Amino acid sequence: MPFELTGLAGKVVVVTGAGRMRSIGRQMALAFAKAGADVVVTGTGRSPDRYPDDEKAAGWRDIDSVADEVRAMGRKALPIVMDVADEEDANGLINQTVRELGRIDFLINNAASARGEDRVPVVDLDLDAWDLVIRVKLRGGFLMSRAFAREMIKNEREGAIVNISSIAGKRMGPNSAAYSASNAGIQALSSSMSGELGPKGIRVNTICPGIIDTSRLDDLGRDKRWQAAIQGVPMRRASDGTDIANMAVYLCSEQGNWINGQAINVDGGSMTSH
């Protein structure tokens, strides 16, 4: 018989930050639906005037479009607009998921602030820009994980948390203090939680993507700067996010059930340590 990942059919996964057409979050939602899970997709409720041109041309509807794709694959989908860094929203999301879908099994903390004014030398870094990056990635990851873990422990259920970080949290390069700190922080949070939640049957791991060809990186263009970045990847290509999604599905499967507390690089070989 062909090799098959098991333990995903009929389960429920929450994927935060899943509304963009070209995004890791969308690929996550589709990969879990393909594996047989029902999917909760969250977003911030972006105004359509903020959509990139390709989304506007496609008639994209943010998390509602992703939810429709999940349903087209025969799975249930629940699109929810929320702020992962708001305690009430985080708790409410978990409660709504259980109330409407009957259970929750996996949490993918994918939400992150858009690239923006934080990519400057630290002496020029505005406090509001710092706070936004840390708030969404680190505070949001903490609040969502805490709410999920409380629900799972209360009902004595096993499951998994997968935090999406970045190799930037290991490289910690210049002009990216907030981004590097937030991603290093989510890796530390994952490691700490893995020791606490592992005995409860809840695995916690981090995926550290490299260069992903998504709308998040559109400010780089796709010409000289982009090609120069690609040349730094031994595989000489970017991912479209499916590689990250495939790893997340594996980490939540029965076949990945002894992997805990790891920060796994999925980056075409850009980093070969840590």
Name the residues annotated as catalytic: 179
Furthest C-alpha separation in the chain: 59
Q: For residue 262, with 0-12 CB atoms within 10 Å meaning exposed, 13-18 middle and 19 or more buried, which class applies?
A: middle
Contact assessment for residue 104 and residue 153, using Cβ atoms and an 8 Å cutoff: no
What tokens appear for 186 in the block?
């989510």
Q: Supply angle C-alpha 208, 214, 218, rounded to 5.
A: 120
Contact assessment for residue 160 and residue 206, using Cβ atoms and an 8 Å cutoff: no
Local structure of 59: helix, strand or coil: coil
Instruction: List Cα–Cα distances, 24 to 29, 129, 158, 194, 244, in angstroms.
Output: 9, 23, 25, 23, 7
Instruction: List Cα–Cα distances, 45 to 110, 243, 264, in angstroms.
Output: 16, 26, 30
Contact assessment for residue 41 and residue 80, using Cβ atoms and an 8 Å cutoff: yes
What tokens appear for 195 in the block?
């020791």
Integer-rounded Cα Rg, in Å, for the chain is 18
